[in-house]
């Protein structure tokens, strides 16, 4: 269900950076609709909204997801001539395979190739640089499981988010004076994290 501006609850939640609400709504929506992620990403590309796009991608949505019309975010961005948005998508690994052979598809492919050449010769914009620097974010790390009584948890540590889970475990090991090389990292809901990209600024992480 969308409002008069075409926004649905998922869009409102991600726009407001209400992460827990977004995760809950998204997980429920994907059970019955496989195109939820693609629809959101393509909408962000069409509206040329890099902030929402980065929020979606940080939640682990596939940058090459197709919407219900079979379009991918990069195709939408190029069709709308949103060059900066297309650059951002390429930074996140958007692929250009399977372009259709129509006149419009070939035109978009030509625009993409030209843009890639220009992109290599130009400086990255400030928000693109931010997308490549997860260390700008800060997180709270704790030793113990989030489900247990809070009184049993050690005092947390506020750290800058490193660029990899391996480095995060190394830092946690130093802070808590443990061998965390083989530790498991979970979020507040107890879900195991297997990628640094899904971790957000001010997240609470638990070392098991």
- Rounded Cα gap, residues 85 and 27, in angstroms: 26
| CATH 3.10.20.90 intervals, the chain | 134-207
pLDDT (0 to 100) of residue 73:
94
Whether pLDDT at 139 is above 60? yes
Q: Where in the chain is the domain with CATH 1.25.40.20?
A: 9-129
Look at residue 134 in the predicted model and tell me its pLDDT: 46
Beta-strand runs (E) in the chain: 138-143, 157-160, 185-186, 204-207
Q: Does domain 134-207 have CATH number 3.10.20.90?
A: yes
Structure confidence at residue 47 (pLDDT): 94
Is the pLDDT confidence value at 127 over 70? no
Q: How confident is the model at residue 35 (pLDDT cuts 50, 70, 90)?
A: very high
Query: What pLDDT, on the 0 to 100 scale, is given for residue 111?
Result: 63
Distance from C-alpha of 53 to C-alpha of 181, rounded to nearest angstrom: 33
Q: Which of 5, 33, 8, 10 is nearest to 22 (CA)?
A: 10
Average pLDDT over residues 123-144: 62
For 33-42, b/e burial (b = at least 16 CB within 10 A) is eebbbbbbbb
141, two tokens = 């790390």
| Structural domain 9-129, CATH architecture | Alpha Horseshoe (1.25)
């Amino acid at each position: 269900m969308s409002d008069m501006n075409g926004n649905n609850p998922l869009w409102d939640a991600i726009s407001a950076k209400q992460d827990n609400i977004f995760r809950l709504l998204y997980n429920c929506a994907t059970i019955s609709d496989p195109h939820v992620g693609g629809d959101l990403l393509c909408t962000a590309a069409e509206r040329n909204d890099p902030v929402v796009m980065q929020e979606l991608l940080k939640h682990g949505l596939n940058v090459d997801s197709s919407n219900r019309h079979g379009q991918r975010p990069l195709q939408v961005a190029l069709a709308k001539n949103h060059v900066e948005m297309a650059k951002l998508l390429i930074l996140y690994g958007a692929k250009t395979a399977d372009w259709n052979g129509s006149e419009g598809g070939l035109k978009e492919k030509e625009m993409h190739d030209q843009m890639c050449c220009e992109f290599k010769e130009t400086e990255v914009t400030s928000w693109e640089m931010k997308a490549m620097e997860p260390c700008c974010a800060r997180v709270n790390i704790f030793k113990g499981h989030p489900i247990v009584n809070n009184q049993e948890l050690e005092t947390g540590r506020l750290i800058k988010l490193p660029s990899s889970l391996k480095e995060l475990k190394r830092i946690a090991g130093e802070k808590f004076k443990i061998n965390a090389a083989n530790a498991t990292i979970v979020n507040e809901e107890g879900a195991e994290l297997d990628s640094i990209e899904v971790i957000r600024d001010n997240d609470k992480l638990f070392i098991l």
